[in-house]
Amino acid sequence: MNPRMLPPKNLKFLARAIRGLMRCCLAGLVAALLTTPAQAAFHLWSIREVYTDVSGTLQFIELVDSFGGQPFVGGQSINCVNVGATLTHSYTLSGGSLAGNTFNHALLFGTAGLHAVGGPTPDYIIPNNFLFQAGGTLNIWGLSSGPYSALPTDGVSSLVWAGGTAVNSPENYNGTIGFVAVPEPAALTLLGVGLGLLVRTSRKQR
C-alpha cells in the first residue's frame, strides 16, 4: 500500500515506529562498539627482550604494552617452536585481568630462579629451557610474534626483539627492573684457576 494513501493517524504511528526502531538499532550498535574492545583488549602487547643463560635454567621473555587498555591476558598462550619445528613449548596464562592501566607496563615471563640472581620476581613462571637457545619462533597473542636468531648465552646480554643485543634489564608488571649476571662456565673455570693460583702463591710466600 502506498503510504500517501494512509490516514494521517496511521502515518504518525508509522513514523514513530520507524524512529523507535532506528533508536534501538543505534543503541545496539553503540553497545557493541563499547563492549567488543573490552573483550578483545589483550592483543597490543609486543615482545621487547628475550634472555637465556647457557644452562637454560635462567630465562625470561619481556613483553610491553605501548598503547594502554590491554589487561585481559588471562587464558592467553605463549609458545616457542624450535628451528626444525619438531618441538613446541607452550605456556597458558592463568588468572584474570591485570590491575590498573597497562600503558607502558612490562609483563615478565621468567624461570623460577631468576629472582635469586638479581632479576625481578616474574609475573609468570615458565619452565626451565622454555626458550630454544639456537633460535626458533616465539608466538604470543599480541603484535610481534615471529622467528628469532640464536640467543646470547654469555649470561649478560639479551636479545632485543627490535634488533641487536643489549645488557639484560628484565622488568615486571610492577615496574621493578633487575639485572641478571651469570658468567659462562668457561669464565667460572678461569675464575677457579685464578683463585687456585692465588692460594698457592700465598702459601709459598709464608
Note whether 140 and 47 are within 8 A (CB).
Answer: yes
Whether residue 9 sits in one domain with residue 108: no
Model confidence band, residue 95 (pLDDT cutoffs 50, 70, 90): confident
Per-residue pLDDT tens digits for 97-129 = 999 999 999 999 999 999 999 999 999 999 999
Whether residue 20 sits in one domain with residue 49: no
In CATH, what number is assigned to the domain containing residue 149?
A: 2.60.40
Whether residue 161 sits in one domain with residue 100: yes
Residue 201 within any structural domain of the chain: no
Per-residue pLDDT tens digits for 27-76 = 444 344 444 444 459 999 999 999 999 999 999 999 999 999 999 999 99
Whether residue 134 sits in one domain with residue 107: yes
Whether residue 77 sits in one domain with residue 171: yes
Whether residue 130 sits in one domain with residue 86: yes
Domain boundaries, position 34? 3-39
Q: Range with the lowest mean pLDDT among 55-59, 92-96, 180-184? A: 180-184
pLDDT for position 8? 55
Residue 137 within any structural domain of the chain: yes
Q: What number of helices (H) and strands (E) belong to the chain?
A: 2, 10
For the whole prediction, is pTM greater than 0.95? no
Phi, psi of 62 (to 5 degrees): -110, 125
Whether residue 113 sits in one domain with residue 142: yes
What average pLDDT does the structure give for the chain?
82
Cβ neighbours around 37 below 10 Å, total: 9
Whether residue 54 sits in one domain with residue 8: no
